[in-house]
């Protein structure tokens, strides 16, 4: 439990577990949760406890979510029609596989996974249909360090942005969960725009853990935690825990994956959903700090030393943290502006 008296704050209200309590969450907490997820999702999941969420704002967010979801699915279907197999990952996948109403799940862009051998052909297909290259994303002084996705593509009017991935997630996870393995285990998911390919539940949970750890369990991972709670509530029986642990171990993400599941179990009230060996909180105070951040909904921006501490203690295996920081140091001298793919 979180150090602040063991309270879970707004998380206790997501499934009505706190319905018998006298005081609902305060409007500031509701607004913060809505900002980190979407007003539509907050209104739906909190129900009567969603005090202060304007109905028009919730509907507006739902319509924006729908626009991004539908356009993402249509581009995935366009690729399939051209004979290129793509899998929808991240928010575009979880919106359809985990939520009764997929338009509750916000997403900044549509993430599509393609084999590296098909990457250039997919870019050509999308370009012929009107997508243009977006800006190369250099998020820091050391440049672009991911090896999973290249420059995004989008419509000129900004209606959609497509993030094309050649790995399910950046190194080190694709040591164990390759693109071929994800496709081999993937499932077909019906949507309002036709059938798409999404990761199997075990891979989906592992990707959620890896993404959250890569983002240092920060504010942007709130949606990911909600996804994991929804997955474990509805699909826990379909998780192959031996496969999850083995893949995480080979992919060098077992330590952060356990930290992620420990937080999800506590925030979601899912004590029996995960084997104890995979959700026992790591030793030390950093896990308690992380859980407090989720409970408080990240009221303060983490500084560089706080981020480094979290990476070293919780969000990465030691060898992974060392390699990442060496690559960042190299990037300070010669930053990469985007992923370099073979011609």
User: What pTM does this model have?
Assistant: 0.91
CATH class of domain segment(s) 9-333: alpha beta
> Who wins on pLDDT, 141 or 72?
72
Cβ-contact 234, 240 below 8 angstroms: no
What would the two tokens of residue 275 be? Answer: 């084997």
Q: What is the pLDDT of residue 332?
A: 67
DSSP helix, strand, coil percent of the chain (3-state; round to 5): 55, 10, 35
CB neighbours of residue 50 within 10 Å: 23
Residues 295-310 have pLDDT tens digits of 999 999 999 899 999 9
Tokens encoding 125: 């297909």
Nearest C-alpha neighbor of 295 from the set 238, 247, 225: 225
Q: pLDDT band for position 343 (50/70/90)?
A: low
Query: Stretch 72-96: mean pLDDT, rounded?
Result: 97
pLDDT digits (tens, 9 = 90+) for 26-50: 899 999 999 999 999 999 999 888 8
Nearest-CA neighbor of 320 among 328, 310, 312? 312
Domain assignments of the chain as residue spans, ordered by start: 9-333
Higher pLDDT, 48 or 170: 170
How does residue 3 score in pLDDT terms, banded at 50, 70 and 90? Answer: very low
Weakest mean pLDDT among 48-52, 209-213, 312-316: 48-52
> Average pLDDT of the chain?
89
* pLDDT level of residue 19 (50, 70, 90 thresholds): low
The answer, yes or no, to whether residue 174 has pLDDT greater than 90, is yes
Q: Which of 4-13, 158-167, 293-302, 312-321 has the lowest mean pLDDT?
A: 4-13
What digits encode the pLDDT tens for the residues 215-242?
999 999 999 999 999 999 998 899 999 9
Mean pLDDT over 12-23 rounds to: 67
Contact in structure between 30 and 51 (CB atoms under 8 Å):
yes
Distance CA 103, CA 188 (A): 19
Of residues 134 and 213, more confidently modeled: 213
Residue that wins the pLDDT comparison between 135 and 12? 12
Counting other chains too, the contacts that 179-187 makes at CB distance below 8 Å and 24 or more residues apart are 179/113, 179/114, 179/115, 179/116, 180/115, 182/87, 182/113, 183/85, 183/87, 183/115, 186/87, 187/97
Q: What is the total residue count of the chain?
A: 343
The percentage of the chain sitting over the pLDDT mark of 70, rounded to a whole number, equals 87
- Report the run of H or E that residue 223 belongs to, with start and end: helix 222-235
Strands 161-165, 187-189: pairing kind: unpaired
């Amino acid at each position: 439990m979180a150090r602040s008296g063991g309270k879970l704050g707004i998380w206790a209200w997501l499934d009505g577990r706190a319905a018998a309590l006298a005081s609902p969450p305060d409007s500031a907490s509701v607004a913060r949760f809505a900002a980190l997820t979407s007003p539509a999702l907050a209104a739906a999941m909190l129900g009567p406890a969603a005090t202060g969420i304007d109905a028009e704002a919730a509907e507006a967010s739902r319509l924006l979510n729908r626009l991004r979801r539908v356009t993402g699915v249509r581009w995935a279907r366009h690729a399939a029609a051209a004979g290129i197999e793509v899998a929808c990952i991240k928010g575009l996948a979880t919106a359809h596989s985990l939520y009764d109403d997929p338009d509750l799940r916000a997403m900044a862009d549509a993430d599509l996974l393609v084999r590296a051998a098909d990457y250039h052909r997919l870019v050509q297909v999308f370009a012929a249909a009107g997508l243009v290259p977006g800006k190369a994303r250099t998020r820091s002084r050391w440049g672009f360090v991911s090896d999973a996705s290249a420059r995004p593509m989008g419509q000129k009017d900004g209606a959609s942005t497509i993030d094309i991935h050649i790995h399910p997630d950046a190194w080190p996870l694709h040591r164990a969960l390759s693109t071929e393995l994800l496709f081999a285990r993937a499932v077909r998911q019906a949507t309002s725009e036709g059938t798409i390919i999404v990761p199997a539940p075990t891979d989906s949970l592992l990707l959620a853990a890896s993404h959250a750890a890569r983002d240092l369990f920060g504010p942007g991972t709130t949606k990911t935690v909600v996804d994991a709670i929804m997955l474990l509530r509805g699909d826990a029986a379909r998780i192959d825990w031996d496969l999850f642990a083995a893949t995480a171990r080979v992919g060098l993400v077992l330590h952060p994956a356990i930290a992620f599941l420990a937080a999800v179990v506590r925030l979601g009230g899912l004590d029996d959903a995960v084997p104890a060996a995979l959700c026992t909180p790591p030793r030390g105070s950093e896990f308690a700090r992380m859980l407090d951040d989720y409970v408080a909904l990240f009221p303060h921006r983490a500084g560089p030393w706080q981020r480094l501490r979290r990476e070293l203690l919780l969000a990465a295996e030691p060898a992974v943290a060392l390699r990442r920081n060496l690559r960042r140091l190299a990037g300070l001298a010669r930053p990469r502006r985007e992923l370099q793919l073979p011609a």
